Chains A and B, each alone.
Chain A
Amino acid sequence: MTALPALPAPAPHVNPETKPFWDATAEGRLLLRACRACESVIWYPRTLCPECGSFDTEWMEASGRGTIFTFSVNRRGQGAYRGASPYVLAYVELEEGPRMMTNIVDCDVDAIAIGDPVRVVFHDTGAGSALPRFRPVT
């Protein structure tokens, strides 16, 4: 088994449109934006529904469950991730539909596979937010 080093948790840029999302992460909740007009689940979170053009959108809480859609074991981190390799970059397909960029953590990098079920965890950035990441469901 290849153990993973602790990952950095760089603080995201927060703006008025996305502040509720990041405030919720600090409380351990993953929010999605939902369209009241066409019932689409929107990702990344924004006020406008990119499916139908409606601004009639609202926050909803995600289940936090998903599956690995694709992943890569990155051995050459850049920026804040310089020196953090190896780490797993991935798209997780949420139960609600969207595929979000994230990291798979607390895992054996030699054992994970596309389709594996995962569940959200939150890593504190120290700046009033937390990064939603995912760990395999065992």
Chain B
Amino acid sequence: MSLRGAAYVAGAFEHPDRIIPDKPVEQVHAEVAAGALADAGLTFADVDAYYCAGDAPGMGGVSMADYMGLKLSHIDSTETGGSSYVVHVGHAAAAIKAGKCKVALITLAGLPRQDSANLVSRVSAAPESAFETVYGTSVHGMYALCARRHMYEYGTTGEQLAEIKVAAAHHAQYNEHALRRETVTVEDVLNSPMVSDPLHRLDCCVITDGGGAVVVVAPDVARDLDRQCVKILGHGEAPKHTRNGRPDLTSTGAVWSGPAAFAEAGVTPADIDYASIYDSFTITVLMTLEDLGFCEKGKGGQFVSGGALQAPYGKLPFNTDGGGLCNNHPGNRGGMTKILEAVRQLRGEAHPQVQVPDCELALAHGTGGSIATRMGSSTLILGREDA
């Protein structure tokens, strides 16, 4: 069963706020849900499937269905960290193709700025935690382990990692909602304080409250809507873990989710006009670009140099909303915003300064968990409605 053309993204919405001190997380879920449904020209009454991840409160999908008054024939709360929402789009398309539902709502919301203690997440009961967290495995520290190993094996440099932040910041200056809108240079990144050697502060994503939502619909529903929809062409998902204590630290689950998505879509990396690449850290982007096949393994540093990632005319414009590095990383989960900017690009609704001309094919990739231990990776390939 191929998902190519099985469903469409009809609605997309990003919460405009980055600091939300006065709302509970369920309210933010409901606000982004309403925003995405309104964008599609649909209402809560049209929704018959709901998807959420670990950021949803209480009993997850059941609690949120109660809060939003949804009557559902399909529900899924797959949790793969920040990539969950990219996974959900694939699962929603499969459920639609199987005839289980017609209008699937996917939401993300998080408020880490309300409770920074929660940054050290709730994995204390995980089977591996006694052998990792006791050593002070901060998120940035673990990604730094990968950056160091990538530098050792392939000669990747801090300057090359900095190019990724420079491109993201170039895009963020045009996003009025971005948390950080100032442009930066390679030197700015290298001169920012060392957080976890070799990663500097500006190699790290922002921490924001907020959320986002998308609505995935069946082809016949898409046809009846006035809104320009985006066609789902291919999807892949794959957890990658420590492989019995032998992690390589230089590749991500994209080595599996990427080829699956490209095969289903019937396209190659060279065909992609725009890419949303999960950017928890600069090293996440560099390794993912290699793993998705945009360049040879180990050549990511060369690939990202010289403005290659800058819209509109770089060879692979990426994260034109400013990404998690500058714009938004709601709830420490960046998968949803990756989908949202890909949808904007395909609709021609990105900021004019960063809109990729004649954007027909886009990729959105999520990486949840930690690339230094275990992660959930998911790749989505989207096309214009007429693709």
Contact = CB atoms under 8 A, between A and B. Distances in A.
A14 B137 CA distance: 18
B15 to A, nearest CB: 26
Contacts of A22: 130
A40 B136 contact: no
A89 B197 CA distance: 10
B112 to A, nearest CB: 13
A9 B133 CA distance: 11
A89 B194 contact: no
Contacts of B21: none
A63 interface: no
Interface string B128-146: 1111111111101110111
Contacts of B225: none
Contacts of A80: 136
Interface residues of B, number: 42
Interface in A1-58: 7-14, 18, 22, 40-46, 50-51
Contacts of B148: 70-72, 114
B286 to A, nearest CB: 16
Nearest to A43: B245
B58 interface: no
A44 B138 contact: no
A124 to B, nearest CB: 13
Given A73-B197, A102-B135, 10 more contacts: A14-B130, A43-B244, A44-B245, A72-B145, A72-B147, A72-B197, A74-B196, A76-B138, A89-B145, A103-B135
22 contacts: A8-B136, A44-B128, A46-B127, A69-B149, A70-B149, A70-B152, A72-B145, A72-B197, A73-B197, A75-B196, A76-B195, A78-B119, A79-B136, A81-B136, A81-B138, A89-B137, A89-B196, A91-B249, A99-B247, A102-B135, A103-B135, A114-B148
Interface of A: 7-14, 18, 22, 40-46, 50-51, 69-81, 84, 87, 89-91, 97-103, 114, 131, 133
